[in-house]
Structure 1
């Protein structure tokens, strides 16, 4: 063994046996800072929340919880949640590296949510709306039977009460642990939207955030009367590598971004998060005052 090899072996042994640092219970710094996914800057969480989780260095829109979405879009004191009691019953008794029931319990404990979407009604600058906000922190925002049922009931409630529907999408797609039951939600939600939009002539606004992928993109995310995206949001069905391997071609660098989709006619607007509420209010006010609406509904 050479001298260099001996030193390298000693270095690796020291790394393996070195004690791991643990934050003391009195250390309050943990969770106060976060790294921007766009530019890598270290951001103070309190300041980030005041800017609606938009990086002050590069304007990257960081992941936002469903609770923060509701606080941002709905007037204070007007939010009324709907169907909070619905929970998954693990119909397939699915087990991979971990039992599905255990995954659900861990996600509920970590996020404080029942499942990957919150639904309810409230006012947006005084305009009554039905809002669904998906949460990527709960199992990647995956769409299982609970997400599908809650969104369907929200749309049906909005149809019965003549309310516009707004859904904030943030999802990795259908939830594999529920198999075909999760895929059924695509058709169920789409059918409810057909009645809401076409038969009752009520508006549905879809908001696509980072990421919106898989079965959510293939169904209700792209069915909005107005489809809005946040800047640089990832919007896709299949993954980039899957597509490149299938077509044997290299895709553009900005492929599957909100800007790319807008340039190809798949989106209506890209609105930064800090002015999203104002933009939604203008769209809804325009719908309320539409001069041909009454004639069209007859």
Structure 2
């Protein structure tokens, strides 16, 4: 009984308020456009697109390649090609140090990743740029990797897809970076002469020398919604001309309205859109230069197929097999 009176004054121990809070760090992403909290699982399933407002978050080059290729499988090409500070450039810190930090922080060897695989059963070579590596800037290594990808496509009779996400030429490499614009453009001229398709996909942001060269040279030029696309940024232009720019100037939608793009495509629909576009571009009526006797799909009329290969296969499986009667 005496023990009971001793315990009477003791309070129940509870965890501190901070420990009682539910930890959501890394579980949710906040949309910068509509401020919605996006559950990470759903966020990744929707390819990093906000389910409420459709805002497209930036994604990395490897994510982009996995998103485009069949089953997310591809072979990485030319991974050994990297920049080596040809001018021994120093600004606030040596260029070599910037390269080392970029590789350590991103896990990438360079600002572009080359991949070879299949897109909707079409053999495809894809170069995906990554803004997280020095702003996706184009230097010697980036130019060489993209050029080699295009030259390989000519040898292997493959289509090319380039996903741009870049601030332009890499200033630390001076004129050597600027000449990559001409080098890649010359390689694309060879691709066009061979009659092979090139689809250019512009994502946020695509600016500078990249926009002024290969990004705008596609047989089809497409962009993700609200992507910033231009040469100089809007703030620089306003300060130069001392005029207020039109609303939504340099957005994908503005460029589409003024005839600079062929389409603005939601990321979640981009892969299927590319497959249908390739089916159209591979038909003999559209491109007689392509000798492809057996197409995995395509109606041969020059019209864009209404269904993707997966949808066509599913439809065929649902149809009952035809039986023929033998009359005696």
Whether TM-score is above 0.5 comes out as: yes
Instruction: Compare 89-98 and 220-229 and name the one that shifted more.
Output: 89-98
Query: Could you say which structure has the larger radius of gyration?
Result: 2
| 1:45 matched residue in structure 2 | 40
| 1:21 matched residue in structure 2 | none
| 1:167 matched residue in structure 2 | 162
Q: CA deviation at 1:295?
A: 6.7
| 1:5 matched residue in structure 2 | none
The answer to whether the Cα contact below 8 Å between 2:194 and 2:289 also exists between their aligned partners in 1 is no
SS in 2 for 1:294: coil
Q: Deviations over 1:116-163 (max 9, x none)?
A: 000021001111111000011111111111110000000000011111
SS in 1 for 2:127: strand
| 2:57 matched residue in structure 1 | 62
Q: Deviations over 1:155-205 (max 9, x none)?
A: 0000111111100000011111111111111111001001111x2111110
CA distance in 1, matches of 2:245, 2:283: 43
Q: CA deviation at 1:87?
A: 1.2
Q: Deviations over 1:233-258 (max 9, x none)?
A: 11010111221222222111210000
| 1:223 matched residue in structure 2 | 217
Q: CA deviation at 1:29?
A: 5.3
CA distance in 2, matches of 1:32, 1:120: 30
Q: Which runs of 4+ in 1 moved over 4 A?
A: 27-30
The answer to whether the Cα contact below 8 Å between 1:211 and 1:235 also exists between their aligned partners in 2 is yes
Q: CA RMSD in A?
A: 1.9
The answer to whether the Cα contact below 8 Å between 2:139 and 2:170 also exists between their aligned partners in 1 is yes
Aligned CA distance change for structure 1 residues 181 and 54 (closer, same or farther; 3 Å): same
- The answer to whether residue 288 in structure 2 is matched with residue 294 in structure 1 is yes
Please list, as runs of the form range in 1=range in 2, the aligned pairs for 1:222-241 lying within 5 A after superposition: 222-241=216-235
CA distance in 2, matches of 1:179, 1:106: 20
Compute the TM-score of the two structures, normalised by the length of structure 1.
0.86
CA distance in 2, matches of 1:295, 1:59: 39
| 1:194 matched residue in structure 2 | 189
Please list, as runs of the form range in 1=range in 2, the aligned pairs for 1:1-298 lying within 5 A after superposition: 30-76=25-71, 78-197=73-192, 199-294=193-288
Aligned CA distance change for structure 1 residues 93 and 29 (closer, same or farther; 3 Å): farther
Q: Which runs of 5+ in 2 are unaligned?
A: 1-21, 292-328
Count, aligned residues: 271
SS in 1 for 2:71: coil
The answer to whether the Cα contact below 8 Å between 1:32 and 1:44 also exists between their aligned partners in 2 is yes
Compute the TM-score of the two structures, normalised by the length of structure 2.
0.79
The answer to whether the Cα contact below 8 Å between 1:37 and 1:62 also exists between their aligned partners in 2 is no
